[in-house]
Amino acid sequence: MDTLNILSKTNFVTLRWVKAHVGHKLNEEADDLAKCGTGLDTVFPPPIPRSLSKELVKKIFTTKWTEHWKDNPMCRQTKYWIETPGSLPHWVILISRSMLSLILQALTGHNYLNYHEKIVGNIHSDRCRFCGDKREEFYHLTCECDALAGERLDSFWELQPPDCPPDLTGLVRFIHMNCIGMALGRRIQ
Ligand SMILES: [Zn+2]
């Protein structure tokens, strides 16, 4: 109709009904064009609902973010605990600020454990203060250190397989242990 309105501004247009499928030349041509049109892809796709757009964008970004997280060699210590982006439980935002600070220090490796203290040049040895055996980082304390077997059992309620980091709920109980919180949160001279 829009096209007809435009044409009618410079032409004398008359609309007339014609019987279909009786050999009328222009009607047959119109019929053929209509048939061709049904075989074409839609020229103007229907608008995508906003909710679907948001879902698609979120999916694409999450996929890219996960690929980057897995391919990037950085953040070794954090990857022990967080395998994919966005996998932290929502309750972490409900815990106290001081405990959240300790959790972040524990999971990122930016803490006062001897491994990091040696890296930043504050001490000369990165050996574990509890067992004196291996490098003192949070993974060692939670999964390996023989001297902390009792604290681990009290925190996680079951022995962890060597290469299986404990769940975050258990980690909070572990960090609540005085000796662990002290080691993570402040430098012991
Ligand atoms: Zn140790």
Place of tokens 């879902």: 55
Question: In angstroms, rounded to a whole number, what is the distance separating the alpha carbons of residues 177 and 139?
Answer: 16
Q: Which residues contact 146 (CB under 8 A, 6 or more apart)?
A: 131, 133
* pLDDT band per the 50, 70, 90 thresholds, residue 125: very high
Q: The tokens of 156 are what?
A: 């996680």
Question: In angstroms, rounded to a whole number, what is the distance separating the alpha carbons of residues 66 and 167?
Answer: 20
Q: Which of residues 55 and 169 earns the better pLDDT score?
A: 55
**Is the pLDDT confidence value at 17 over 50?**
yes
- As a whole number of Å, the end-to-end CA separation of the chain is 87
H/E element, 132: none
Instruction: Calculate mean pLDDT across residues 174-185.
Output: 81
Q: How far, in Å, from the CA of 127 to the mean position of ligand 1? A: 8
Per-domain boundaries in the chain: 2-38, 90-185
Q: What is the pLDDT of residue 135?
A: 95
Instruction: Please identify every residue whose CB atom is under 5 Å from ligand 1, which is an ion.
Output: 128, 130-131, 145
Tens digits of residue pLDDT in 97-107: 888 888 888 88
pTM above 0.85, yes or no: no
